[in-house]
Amino acid sequence: MKALVAMSGGVDSSVAAYLLKKDGYEVIGLSFELWDRRDVKKFNTCCSAETVEIAKSVAGKLGIEHYTIDVRDAFYRYVIEDFCDSYIAGSTPNPCILCNKYIKFDFLLQEAKETGTDVIATGHYARTCRAGTSDKSRVLLKKGVDFRKDQSYVLYVMTQEQLSKTVFPLGDMRKEETRALAKEVGLESALRPESQDICFVGNGNYTDFIRDFAPEALKPGLIIDMEGKVVGTHKGIALYTIGQRKRLGVSSLKPLYVAGIDIGNNIITVGSREDAMRKRLRVKELKWISVETLSETVRAGVKIRSTMKEEHAVLTPEGDKTVIVEFNEPQWAPAAGQSAVFYNGDVVIGGGVIE
């Protein structure tokens, strides 16, 4: 059987390729050319020219075929432009989820079909299984066993077709086991540091990126308190997100946090920590995995950021397009544009974008 593995040059995808070859697959490594050769050189991606060379080196070490495809236009259209547009609209985007939705698994599946490959694979810490014994039963997405590295949150956008063809070789492993195995095998990527959350913002300063690509999001405006009193000025709504405390530039005897963003009036509202808490959310752009759709109210665990433990909530559908999430307890700073992902134990029910 053939396996097509997305190789970024990092330790996780390198070990995924190694494990599949060890299991008897004919493994082919695939890297994506995303961004590195565009006009602006100071921003790098996890699939920069340097990391693609590392992926090629690892493939050579493993004795597997490797090639690269150019997806720059799609990456720019679906990830970079959305990233900038979201900040202009006063919301906080999640480019990793967009990349999984529009780039990584779409192109992997397309390449697999064209090359007659049996399965596709990545180095994500997640698992899949069938809900039943029939080939027509739904494919479930489950958390990885390493709760600290579980990446099911960023994979909820996968389709049934993609899940049915995907294997996650690291789903039953812990990160320290992955690194230890990479060292044992002698892979060049063994000591590479973790990739950044926003991979295409090479120096970690997304402000510079927004300044270059969406300067209209940096229009100054007013900062008001919860009573509507003007307490300062901001440097552009793109620089602020719900729950932010640092760099507000407002003098106060008590800690202040961003509690609201009014895009229409270009106003930031600040308040106490409690003012940034929310118990009720509306979620749009729904994607379902374990069910075809949600037709009735159910209880679920819900994550509103990838690093948190899911919290108990009730999901109430509003037709087919939105769901109301009502938490048992108020949650810290849910931000429009981020994703809410729904769980039943280890199984991903689905998810969507916080409105």
**Looking at the annotation, which residues are catalytic?**
99, 199
SS3 313: strand
Distance separating alpha carbons of residues 212 and 196, to the nearest angstrom: 20
Q: Which residues pair with 221 in a beta bridge?
A: 234
H or E, element range at 339: strand 339-344
By C-alpha distance, which of 90, 94, 354, 79 is closest to 244?
90
> What string of DSSP letters covers 71-125?
-HHHHIIIIIHHHHHHHHTT----HHHHHIIIIIHHHHHHHHHHHT-SEEE---S
CA dihedral 49, 53, 59, 60 (to 10 degrees): 150
Determine the Cα–Cα distance for residues 129 and 322; give it in Å rounded to an integer.
27
Q: Which residues contact 273 (CB under 8 A, 6 or more apart)?
A: 255, 257, 332
DSSP letter for each residue of 18-78:
HHHHHTT-EEEEEEEE-STTSS--S---TTSHHHHHHHHHHHHHHT-EEEEEE-HHHHIII
Q: Nearest 5 degrees, angle CA 227-CA 231-CA 232?
A: 140
DSSP-derived secondary structure letter, 147: T
Which DSSP string corresponds to 173-231?
--HHHHHHHHHHHT-GGGGPPPPPSSTT-TTS-HHHHHHHH-GGGG--EEEE-TTS-EE
Q: Kind and range of the H or E element at 14?
A: helix 11-22
